[in-house]
């Protein structure tokens, strides 16, 4: 469809409906190297989003905001975003597909937005081995002319002609490294959780801590992403930029992927470090498979996900035995889960997010009691750590991950997050060490 015809149709639709219409246009532009585009965009002011999934072989780079969804009321944030996405009319040229990107905080009341989903102004999308395709998006409002809309889309296309600038100077040496909480407070927290488990008030709580890192100068976000891509095979690498703040990570954890009527997820819980050599690694893997404590922690997550999806009406199947899911510094027990949606729609994934988040892999069991304990005692603001983030398209296809193995970065300061599940039999010293293993890959990317 020609641009003028697309804009005329959108303007007529906005005038007839009395509301905004999202317009999406693929002008035919492609770029060969999404990494170079990302480097060019690294210092772009405002909103940015990068996503590289080894599972779908899909990479995204998005800049700016064409349209932002409002969040819901307290206690219904995902429903508010779902309803706003359902109401938004879309006019597209048949080749340009607008993506809804973003996520939300782990819990309401955080210092980060509780829910933030938006359609970018500029989006590049690359699939395995193919050039990155440009799509530009804009909103047409009642009274706006087709000519004005076409000019806005052409201006966005011009802004997408990014040029690679000079590399930023490398960050200086380490100026500060602080663990919050430290070992003594961590031990007190774990001991308190175990006492609550002993008296039957809790079965599991995921306890997190942070590593605060300051360097001289500023962190290079693109260099960090390249380091994560090189070292974290099998993880989804992401970066959300927000007016100078960057939430960056390489997560092994999928909350949900929707493709047509099929949804997929994975129960990922129970952990062990990687070994110093192949024999040691195999021994640790066998220990993980055989550990009653680790298998119990895994079963809590698996049972919760199956029950939550069944309650949504999904026809669910899961693997019989957990498999070892290995990453460079840690290995997990993982069970793949697949189901058929009871009803396919543009917004179905929001109901899945609301039902699953937080799973016992991030919160605990019982969910309300465990998250209540976290709010009262954990002592850190999780922000977007351990929270849903990803993309959704107008057909309802989506990929939503969990923001773990991550850091929040502003200038020369980074806060790295890591957590682990506390269940009966947990040892404070072993769990303290586990969180360090989980943080090591991000610390290595920050401080090569």
Between CA 68 and CA 87 the distance in angstroms is 13
Does the annotation mark 36 as catalytic? no
Contact 96, 368 (CB under 8 A): no
CA 336 – CA 318 distance, rounded (Å): 6
Determine whether 204 is an active site residue: yes
Which among 121, 125, 253, 434 is annotated as catalytic? 253
List of long-range contacts for 9-16, beta carbons under 8 Å, 24+ apart: 9/91, 10/91, 10/140, 10/146, 10/149, 11/140, 11/144, 11/145, 11/146, 11/149, 13/89, 13/91, 13/140, 14/140, 14/141, 14/142, 14/143, 14/144, 15/142, 15/143
Give the Cα separation of 165 and 42 in Å (integer): 10
Buried residues in 401-435 as b, exposed as e (16+ CB within 10 A): bbbbbbbbbeebbbbbbbbbbbbeebebeebbebb
The single residue of 121, 125, 204, 378 carrying the catalytic annotation is 204
Residues labelled as active-site residues: 204, 253
């Amino acid at each position: 469809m020609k641009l003028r015809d697309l804009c005329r149709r959108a303007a007529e639709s906005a005038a007839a409906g009395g509301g905004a219409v999202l317009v999406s246009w693929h002008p035919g532009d492609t770029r060969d190297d999404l990494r170079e585009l990302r480097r060019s965009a690294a210092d772009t002011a405002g909103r940015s989003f990068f996503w590289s999934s080894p599972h779908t072989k899909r990479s995204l780079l998005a800049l700016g905001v064409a349209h932002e969804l409002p969040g819901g009321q307290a206690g219904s944030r995902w429903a508010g975003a779902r309803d706003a996405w359902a109401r938004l009319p879309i006019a597209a040229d048949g080749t340009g597909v607008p993506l809804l990107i973003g996520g939300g905080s782990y819990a309401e009341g955080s210092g980060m937005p509780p829910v933030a989903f938006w359609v970018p102004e500029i989006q590049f999308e690359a699939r395995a081995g193919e050039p990155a395709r440009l799509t530009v998006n804009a909103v047409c409002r009642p009274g706006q002319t087709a000519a004005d809309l076409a000019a806005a889309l052409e201006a966005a296309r011009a802004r997408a002609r990014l040029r690679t600038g000079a590399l930023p100077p490398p960050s200086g040496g380490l100026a500060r490294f602080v663990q919050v909480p430290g070992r003594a407070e961590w031990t007190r927290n774990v001991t308190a959780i175990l006492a609550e488990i002993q008296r039957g008030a809790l079965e599991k709580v995921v306890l997190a801590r942070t590593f605060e890192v300051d360097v001289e100068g500023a962190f290079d976000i693109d260099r960090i992403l390249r380091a994560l891509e090189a070292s974290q095979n099998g993880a989804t690498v992401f970066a959300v930029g927000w007016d100078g703040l960057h939430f960056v990570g390489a997560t092994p954890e999928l909350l949900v992927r929707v493709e047509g009527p099929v949804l997929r997820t994975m129960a990922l819980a129970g952990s062990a470090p990687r070994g110093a050599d192949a024999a040691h690694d195999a021994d640790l893997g066998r220990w993980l498979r055989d550990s009653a404590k680790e298998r119990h922690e895994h079963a809590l997550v698996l049972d919760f996900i199956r029950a939550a999806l069944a309650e949504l009406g999904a026809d669910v199947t899961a693997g019989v035995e957990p498999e070892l899911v290995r990453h460079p510094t840690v290995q997990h027990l993982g069970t793949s889960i697949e189901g058929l949606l009871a009803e396919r729609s543009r917004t179905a994934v929001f109901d899945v997010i609301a039902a699953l988040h937080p799973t016992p892999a991030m919160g605990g069991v019982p969910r309300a009691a465990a998250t209540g304990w976290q709010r009262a005692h954990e002592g850190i603001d999780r922000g977007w750590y351990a929270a849903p983030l990803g993309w959704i398209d107008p057909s309802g296809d989506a990929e939503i991950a969990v923001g773990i193995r991550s850091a929040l970065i502003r200038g020369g300061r980074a806060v790295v997050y890591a957590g682990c599940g506390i269940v009966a039999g947990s040892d404070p010293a072993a769990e303290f060490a586990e969180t360090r293993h989980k943080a090591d890959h991000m610390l290595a990317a920050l401080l090569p």
